[in-house]
Amino acid sequence: MDLDLLLKICLLIVIAGIGFKLLKVFTSMIFKFALIILVLLLVCKFFKLF
């Protein structure tokens, strides 16, 4: 019984860790995407000035 509970807890921790890692990767991807859009907008404005 105790071993089964321990196994479930370990599994939960592993799933939580994987979820957190995926979330981190996802948020960094969104940040990079936003940064690229910002750079493109700045480039467009820069070329419109000339």
Q: In 3-state terms, the chain is what percent helix, strand and coil (to 5)?
A: 95, 0, 5
pTM value is 0.53
For residue 31, the model assigns a pLDDT of 94
Positions of the chain with pLDDT under 50: none
Q: Nearest to residue 48, comparing CAs of 34, 37, 40? A: 40
For residue 1, the model assigns a pLDDT of 65
